[in-house]
Chains A and B, each alone.
Chain A
Amino acid sequence: MISDRLKNIVLKELDLDDFDFKDSTTADMVPGWDSLTHIQIIVAVEKNYKIKFKGIEILKIKNMGELQSLIDAKLAAVSTGL
Chain B
Amino acid sequence: MLHYFDIEKIKLLFQYDKSDPLLFTSSMFLFAFFVLLVLYRLVYKNKTARIYLIILFSVFFYYKACGIYFLLLFLLTFINYFSGKWIGISKNRIGKNTLFILAVLLNIGILIYFKYTNFFIGILNDVRSSHITPLDVFLPLGISFIIFKALSYVIEIYLENIKPVDSIRDFTLFIFYFPTLLLGPIERASDFLPQVEEDIKINKEVIGTALFLIMSGLLKKVVIADYIGINFVDRVFETPLRFTGVENLIAAYAYTLQIYTDFSGYTDMALGISLMLGYRLTDNFNSPFKAASIADFWRRWHITLSSWCLDYIFKPLQIKFRSIGILGNALALFITFIIIGLWHGPGWTYIAFGAIHGAYLVSSIFTKKLRTKFYKKTKLASSNSVKLLQWFFTLHLVVFAFIVFRAQSLSIVADMLNQMVNFFHGEVFIQFVNGYKLIFGLIIIGYIVHLLPEKIKESVKNFVINASLYAQVVMLVVVIWVVIQFRFADLQPFLYFKF
Q: Does B310 reach chain A (CB closer than 8 Å)?
A: yes
Residue of chain B at shortest CB distance from A15: B372
Q: Chain B's nearest CB lies how many Å from the CB of A50? A: 15
Smallest CB–CB gap between A20 and chain B, Å? 24
Q: Is the CB of B322 within 8 A of A39?
A: yes
Chain B residue at minimal CB-CB distance from A42: B322
How far, in angstroms, from A59 to B318 measured CA to CA in the complex?
Answer: 11
Is A56 an interface residue, CB under 8 A from the partner? yes
Q: A36-B365, A39-B322, A42-B322 are in contact. Are A60 and B160 (CB under 8 A)?
A: yes
| Cross-interface CB contact of B320 among A36, A42, A55, cutoff 8 Å | A55
Is there a chain A Cβ closer than 8 Å to B38's Cβ? no
The answer to whether B319 has its CB under 8 Å from any CB of chain A is yes
B329 touches A36 (CB 8 A): yes
B314 pairs with A59, CB closer than 8 A: no
Residue of A with least CB distance to B320: A55
Structural contact, B319 and A58, CB atoms closer than 8 A: yes
Q: State whether A35 touches B320 (Cβ < 8 A).
A: no
Are B315 and A43 in contact (CB-based, < 8 A)? no
Complex contact A39–B318 (CB within 8 A): yes
Which residues from chain A contact B318 at a C-beta distance below 8 Å?
A: 35, 39
Q: Which residue from B161, B310, B319 sits with its C-beta under 8 Å from A39?
A: B319
Bound CA span A78–B295, Å: 39
Measured CA separation A19–B492 after assembly (Å): 61
User: Pick the contact of B314 from A35, A55, A56 — CB < 8 Å?
Assistant: A35
Q: Mark A55-67, 1 if CB is under 8 A from B, else 0.
A: 1101110000000
| B365/A59 in contact, CB under 8 A | no
> Which residue of chain B has the shortest Cβ distance to A55 in the bound complex?
B319
Residues of B within 8 A of A43 (CB): 322-323, 325
Q: Could you tell me the distance between the alpha carbons of A75 and B373 in the complex, rounded to whole angstroms?
A: 37
Asked if B316 is at the interface of the complex by the 8 Å CB criterion, the answer is yes
Chain B min CB distance to A47 (Å):
11
Bound form: Cα–Cα A36–B321 in Å? 12
Say yes or no for B159: interface residue by CB 8 A criterion: yes
Query: Would A59 and B322 count as touching, CB distance under 8 A?
Result: no
Residues of A within 8 A of B320 (CB): 55
Closest A-chain residue to B93, C-beta based?
A: A56
**A42 CA to B322 CA, complexed, in Å:** 9
Give residues of chain B (440-495) contacting chain A, Cβ–Cβ below 8 Å.
Answer: none
* B329 CB contact (under 8 Å) in A39, A55, A56, A58: A39
Complex Cα–Cα for A35 and B316 (A): 12
Q: What are the residues of chain A within 8 A of B316 when measuring CB–CB?
A: 55, 59
Verify A56–B365 contact, CB threshold 8 A.
Answer: no
Given A55-B316, A56-B159, A59-B159, A39 and B365 contact (CB-CB distance below 8 Å): no
Closest A residue to B312 using CB positions: A59
User: How far in angstroms is the closest Cβ of chain A from B478?
Assistant: 42
Report the minimum CB–CB distance from B310 to chain A (whole Å): 6
Interface centre among A35, A36, A55, A58 (most CB of B within 10 A): A36
- Which residues in chain B, 149-163, are within 8 Å of chain A measured between CB atoms? 159-161
Residues in B with CB closer than 8 Å to A55 are 316, 319-320
B-side interface residues toward A, CB under 8 Å? 159-161, 310, 314-316, 318-320, 322-323, 325, 328-329, 365
